[in-house]
Each structure stands twice: as C-alpha cells, then as structure tokens.
Amino acid sequence: MKIENRLGKGLSAFFDNKNQVPVFNPSKNNDAQNVQEVKNNLQKEGVVYIPVGNIVPNPNQPRKDFKEEQLRELASSIEKNGLLQPILVRKTQNPAVFEIIAGERRWKASNLAGIYEIPAIVKDFSNKETFEIALVENLQRENLSPIEEANGFKKLLNDFNYTQEDVAKLINKSRSYVANILRLLYLPDEVQKMVSNGDLSYTIARTLIGTEDPLKMAKSILKGDLNVREAEKIKKEKVSKPKKDISNNNELDSELLSLKENLSSLLNLDVDIKFKNNKGEIVIKFGNLKELDNIMTKLNNNI
C-alpha cells in the first residue's frame, strides 16, 4: 500500500496491532520470563522494544509546543495502562539510535514516567514521508496550533515541492482551507505568538490579515478596546477604498487586492500587482535561486 493511501485512511493504517501495548518498568520487578514472552509475541507483529534513551526526536517535528501538564497526565496513564499504540520510528546512521516518525508526545511522557523502554514499529521512510506522517499525526490528534499547522504546510510547499492542492489532499481538507491557514504567516511575529499561545483564536487572527496595523488591533482586541466585528468593519472600509501606489501612481481596487493576497499566499512570497488603463503587471519577489526554482515548479504544476 502506498504511503499516500495509508495516510488517507488515517495513521492507524501503519499499525497492525490495535490493542494497548504494555510497558515494562524495572522498578516494578516484572517477571522476566513473562516479559520476554510478551515481547517475543509482539515482535512477530512487528513491534519491538527500544530503550527510551536510544530514541531521538525528529528535528522537523511540526509541533513545537508540548504542554507540561498534559505530558504529566499522559505519563501517569502510560505508567498505569501502557501505550494505546506503539510509536513509529526509523533507523539512523547509528544502528543503536532511532528517530521518531510519529509519537514524540508519547515518548516524552514515557521518559517523564521513568520507563526504561517502550514499544515501537521500525519503518524505513524518507525525510519527506517522515514529515508527512508527523504532520498528519498531529492534525489527527488536534495537537497543532494554527501557526504550527501553517509552518508545516509551508515546509511541504518549500522543501518538498508540494502544491496547495497536494497539501489539501494529504490532510483531507479543501484547498481554500490550506490557503487561509498559510495566510496567517503574513501576520507579525508577535501576533503569531498570540495565536500559538491561544490568546488569539484562528477566527480573530484571520480578521487581522491585511489590516494596516495587525499588532495594534490584536492588542486592542485583547484589552477589550476593540471587538471582532469592529475590526472586520475597519478592514472592509480600508479594502473598499482604492489603494494608491505612490511610487507608480497605480490603483488597486478591492478585487485586485484580494487577488494579490491570494497569489502571495499560493507562492508564499511577496507579490505586487500594478494596474493602470486596463493593463498591468505582476511582480513576484524572491530572495534566492531556490525560491525562483520553487516558483517555476509551482507554476508548471498549475500551482
């Protein structure tokens, strides 16, 4: 079965074992013979036990924020009940060390619980496949913030030459959903942090995109000086007025401004649209040859 088909059916398609898998803690003096028998039976199903210290996280893990309280709750559950699913790992250049593909949260919680070794399934996946699975796992478990999600999509577009349509198919969402999430990355870093921390919701953050001073509006909303409806009204009033390009004396009406934002989102680059006397030009700004190559790839794939 191809990896794309497995992802489409959900992450559980990678696991043949559907039952909870026990974890063994030396401090509990588990019966050695029974433990080995359990391990031998699971190994026939593709599950092996790897010392927690021999496992390293994926440096490209989409999820960056792990809540300490939630980790402690999971650690307590794992210590008592075992793991609902083994983690998914791949080999590294060091034969004794394995890199996490899916299950970093479970690995962290197991480490927190003081467990010596945990069940895992070893797969031989590429960097691209590893990132796909890590992203899908987090999305299925609803663990990613909108900003983490947006950065994950951006990495697929920039590093693995995905189109937005490809990303949409991978996560079983619409292309417009992908485009809207990506637009969050046009917000100032401080506003993005507010979204990541949960201070600003995705809905409110979307309202701030394209406003003259998103940070100022975000602070006003958090202070209660401005509500979402008022922010939307200010944005509509700004967009509805023709925007003057002082350097070129060109005008962008609201429709062209929307097209400009959409194209910028699709390419993940700064785009300028100049229009006058029913003629115009599109300027796509790139920083290096790699970005130019990505533009050409996306255009060849009809974006």
Written in H, E and C, the secondary structure of 32-77 is HHHHHHHHHHHHHCCCEEEEHHHEECCCCCCCCCCCHHHHHHHHHH
Coil, strand, or helix at residue 162?
Answer: coil
Q: Where are the alpha helices (DSSP H) in 82-201?
A: 104-112, 127-140, 146-159, 164-171, 175-182, 189-196
Phi then psi dihedrals of residue 120, to 5 deg: -150, 155
Which is catalytic among the residues 69, 99, 104, 291? 104
**Which tokens in the block code for residue 252?**
């962008």
User: Does the active-site annotation cover 104?
Assistant: yes
Coil, strand, or helix at residue 101?
Answer: strand
Tell me how far apart the alpha carbons of residues 287 and 38 are, in angstroms, rounded to a whole number: 56
Tell me how far apart the alpha carbons of residues 101 and 95 are, in angstroms, rounded to a whole number: 16
Place of tokens 């939307």: 232
Tell me how far apart the alpha carbons of residues 22 and 31 are, in angstroms, rounded to a whole number: 13
Catalytic residue IDs: 104
